[in-house]
Amino acid sequence: MKSIPRRALLGGAALALAPLARPALIGPALAQPRWPARPVQMLCPWAAGGGTDAVLRIIAILLEKDLGQPFNVVNRTGGSGVVGHAAIANAQPDGYTLGIITAEICMLHWQGLTEVTYRNYTPLGLMNNDPPGIQVNNSAPYRDVKALADAIKASRPGQLKASGTGQGGIWHLALAGWLGAMGLKADHVRWVPSNGAAPAMQDLAAGGLDFTTCSVPEARAMLDAGRARSLAVMAPERLSAFPDIPTLKEAMGVDYQTGAWRGIAGPSNLPAEVKAAMDPALGRVFNSQEYKDFLNARGFGLVYADAAGFARHLEAADKSLGEAMKAAGLAKV
């Protein structure tokens, strides 16, 4: 494997890809701040190609333009996000390893799966929030969410089956929370754990499930294909990308809302200069046309909070998700 022609070939590939790999990377570097002086690693606790990965990658590109240093995305996956989240929290707090944290960070520790909580991070900015929808098979008899709710109330416990993510995942909690808001027990509808939203939507279309509670963007292709219908969204207001789907409050008068959010954070004790540089930079990223176009194209919800706001959000989310998990019997403690 060490022959000259082989090397020439590799070199050729490198040369061929080089122009693709880095056009327009050198953006307007602002007044040479001391940080970042070298490339920054951005850890993603979820696999390449997923929603979190996509959001982080667009953020990384825009940060690169804004701060003038490469922001390299590294996927550190596994253990329902435990491994990657722990890696961000345990990184050297020098500002050169940051990452994206997701709603799961306020759930995993309640399940006793990790010691890491939101307190182990320096929050830098909340970048996106996707509320869950309620989707049924297109041929299902439920015309609106009220009909589905009535069917749920009339069913015996465990008779109806729902899915959307793994056991104890955010969409499982969404179901539990919705059932709780209707005055039902959290396990009145049996949760079928799945490897994410896509297999759940597939099973819904194949007639294997009664409904799913994954986010609307995740269900989008099936909705477009006419294989599934979204009855309601568990959000304070209708989604801009899906204006036809009513909120739970509009459709049945139940006020319950939750969401899967994503934000940028670093390990705790991050130097003040890093925070001072990142906080406004993330704000500029969020307000850029590229970021808005990208999230709108995928139907992702545009929600932003600066470092201080993200910190408040984390504290509140940790409390409310913890309560939901205790109510659903999913928490260890």
Partner 1 sequence: MNDMLEAFRLVAAADVVLAILASAIYGLVVGSLPGLSATMATALLVPVTFYLSPIAAVATIITASAMAIFSGDIPGCLLRIPGTPASAAYTDEAYAMTRRGQAEVALGAGLWFSAIGGIVGTLSLVLMAPLLAEMALSFSTYEYFWLAFLGLMCATLVARSSPVKAIASMLLGLLIACIGMENPAGTPRFTFGVTNLLGGIEPIPALVGVFAVSEVMRAMVTPEPPKLPRRKFGSILAGQWALTKKYQWPMWRGNIIGIIIGVLPGAGADMAAWVSYAMSKKFSKEPEKVGTGHPEGLVEAGASNNASLASGWVPALLFGIPGDTITAIAIGVLYMKGLNPGPTLFTERASSMYALYLIFIIANIIMIPLGIVMIRLASLVLRAPRSAVMPAIILLCAVGSYATGANLFSVVMVAAFGVLGFVMERNGYPVAALVLGIIMGSMVEQNFITSLIKSDGDVLPFIERPVSAVLAALTFGALLWPVGAWLLGRVQAGRLRAAAAPR
Partner 2 sequence: MQLSDRVTGAFLVVLGGAAALSGSRLPAVPGQDVGPAAFPMLIGGGLVLCGVLIAFGIGHNFEVTEEAEEDTAPSGGWFRRLAGLRALVPPALLLFYVFAVDLLGFLPTAALIVFTAAMALGARPRLAVPIAILAPALVHLVFYKLLRVPLPAGLLPAPW
Q: Among residue numbers 177 through 206, which ones bind partner 2 (CB under 8 A)?
A: 186-187, 190-191
Report yes or no: 120 and 318 within 8 Å, Cβ to Cβ: no
- Nearest distance in Å: CB 309, partner 1: 27
Phi, psi for 232 (deg, rounded to 5): -165, 165
72 in contact with partner 2 (CB under 8 A): yes
- Taking the least distance from each CB to partner 1, the nearer of 105 and 311 is 105
292 in contact with partner 1 (CB under 8 A): no
Report yes or no: 274 and 123 within 8 Å, Cβ to Cβ: no
Identify residues 204-243 at the interface with partner 1 (CB under 8 A): 205-209, 220-222, 224-227
7 in contact with partner 2 (CB under 8 A): yes
Q: Which does 24 bind (CB under 5 to 8 A by kind): partner 2, partner 1, none?
A: partner 1
Q: Which one among 158, 268, 316, 329 touches partner 1, defined by CB under 8 A? A: 158
12 in contact with partner 2 (CB under 8 A): no
- Residue 247: is it exposed, middle or buried by C-beta count within 10 angstroms (0-12/13-18/19+)? buried
Identify residues 85-114 at the interface with partner 1 (CB under 8 A): 86, 111, 113-114
- Taking the least distance from each CB to partner 2, the nearer of 175 and 305 is 175
Q: Which does 238 bind (CB under 5 to 8 A by kind): partner 2, partner 1, none?
A: none
Distance, in Å, from the CA atom of 97 to the CA atom of 40, rounded to the nearest integer, reads 6
The answer to whether the Cα torsion of 170, 173, 177, 158 is positive or negative is positive
Sheet holding 260-267, edge to edge: 71-75, 40-44, 97-102, 260-267, 121-130, 305-306
Residue 315 vs residues 53, 119, 129, 312: alpha-carbon distances, Å: 24, 9, 16, 5
Q: Which does 186 bind (CB under 5 to 8 A by kind): partner 2, partner 1, none?
A: partner 2
